[in-house]
Amino acid sequence: MESKNSTNKKKLYFSILDKLKQGTNLSKIRNELNISKQKLNYYLKKLKESGIIIQKGMGWYEVKEVKDLTKYDVPLSKDSIRGHAYVWTIRLPKEIKGWSKRTEILKEKGINFNLVGALKTTPRIKVLGRKVWLCNNHIRIFDKKEASYYGKTAKESKYMALNEVKSLVGTLERKLGVFLNPVDISFNKEHYALIKNDLAIEENRKGNIIRISDESGEWLLIDDSLEKGGELENIGKSAYKTNIPMQKWWNNKKEHDFKITDDFILNRFNDTNNSINQLITLQEDLPKNMQLLAQQIESHLKLIQDYRKENIAWRKSKEKEIKEELKLGHQSKLNDFKI
């Protein structure tokens, strides 16, 4: 079990990385995280030594985009969550000045774009390496394949991703010279993976790819996207909702040392079922057994009554015999035979 101090350290690593993605104002980061200058420098040093961030100059750091953060020493642990493969929809207000002429704006500013969509009328540009569709009433952003957001839970990962997309919107506004004022940000696609997961590592070792679907589509996946890193991954529109109970399920298994297997449950069920069947059989046989018991009691009473009758007859006979002996002058204990 991880100590509380260890967990807090890892959360702080994630928070610092998240803040660095938004900007490199170290004073602002210290104030927002409520930590000292010495502590921030310590964590920055560790992140730099691990190759997760790059120092561009005095007080200027950039987060290095890497596909597999699990090979670094900090801050990832077994069954941490990797959020990735996001697709965001930024819903826009009805009236944005000049938005209907966004294609002309792109041409004026010399921004490269392609026309995409069914009718090839939607301009698509790139912002910070992300494909961005500039639709009529919304913006669709496709995150980079290599981008990952790590947290202890899917909630933490999603929070980091949300901050990233907010930063992207700000960059897009500056790039276009248009104030977008988003009404809503929604996640159209999201993947959450338990990294360094035992089951995934074993299936990776065997070279197996596992895909599980239901009526809503594919929702669970094991592949080798982290190169033997072992990812048990929730995917699809409901990934965020399914990841949290799945993580609790795995942690519950871990708490019981993975002893609660299907065989264990089946054996316990069979034992319980057999006990229930025995009880049912006893209940079903109870009337029959009670009838047999009543017959046995009746038979025993009859035997006792017969024995008593025979005993009384014998004692009367014996008393008569003794009286005859007394007449003849023989000694006897008549009192012992009185009825």
pLDDT tens digits for range 222-271: 887 766 567 888 887 677 777 777 777 777 777 777 777 667 676 766 67
Structural domain includes residue 261 = no
Residue 300: φ, ψ to 5°: -65, -40
| Structure tokens belonging to residue 60 | 């200027």
Answer yes or no: do 103 and 247 share one domain. yes
Which residues, including other chains, have CB under 8 Å from residue 131's CB and lie 6 or more apart? 124, 125, 141, 142
CA distance 41 to 298: 96
**Residue where one domain finishes, among candidates 230, 255, 280:** 255
Answer yes or no: do 204 and 91 share one domain. yes
Helix (H, G, I), strand (E, B) or coil at 49: helix
> Mean pLDDT lowest for which of 6-10, 66-70, 84-88, 172-176?
66-70
Answer yes or no: do 79 and 60 share one domain. no
Residue 159: φ, ψ to 5°: -65, -45
Q: What local confidence, expressed as pLDDT, does residue 335 receive?
A: 55
CA nearest to 81, candidates 3, 196, 174: 196
pLDDT tens digits for range 67-96: 444 444 444 566 678 888 899 999 998 878
Residue in this structure with the two tokens 């991703």, named with its chain if needed: 161
pLDDT band at 282 (very low <50, low <70, confident <90, very high): low
CA distance 222 to 174: 40
CA distance 224 to 204: 6
Domain that holds residue 17: 4-64
Structural domain includes residue 262 = no
Rounded-to-10 torsion of CA 283, 287, 293, 294: 150
| Omega within 30 of 0 (cis) for the link into 75 | yes
CA atoms within 13 A on the CB side of 139: 29
Structural domain includes residue 231 = yes
Answer yes or no: do 53 and 160 share one domain. no
CA atoms within 13 A on the CB side of 259: 4
Structural domain includes residue 69 = no
Structural domain includes residue 150 = yes
**What is the domain-level CATH number for residue 43?**
1.10.10
Q: What local confidence, expressed as pLDDT, does residue 160 receive?
A: 82
pLDDT tens digits for range 293-331: 777 777 777 888 877 777 777 777 777 777 776 666 655
CA distance 61 to 7: 24
Structural domain includes residue 115 = yes
Q: What local confidence, expressed as pLDDT, does residue 217 receive?
A: 80
Q: What local confidence, expressed as pLDDT, does residue 10 receive?
A: 63
> Mean pLDDT lowest for which of 10-24, 221-235, 271-285, 325-339?
325-339
**Residue where one domain finishes, among candidates 31, 64, 97:** 64
Answer yes or no: do 42 and 122 share one domain. no
Q: Hey, what amino acid is at 82?
A: R
Answer yes or no: do 140 and 236 share one domain. yes
CA distance 197 to 76: 12
Average pLDDT, rounded, for the chain: 78
| Alpha helix segments (H runs only) across the chain | 4-22, 26-33, 37-49, 102-108, 154-176, 198-206, 239-255, 262-327
| Tally of domains in the chain | 3
Instruction: Provide the percentage of residues in the chain whose pLDDT is more than 90.
Output: 11
Structural domain includes residue 70 = no
Answer yes or no: do 169 and 251 share one domain. yes
CA nearest to 13, candidates 42, 55, 54: 42
Q: What local confidence, expressed as pLDDT, does residue 321 receive?
A: 74
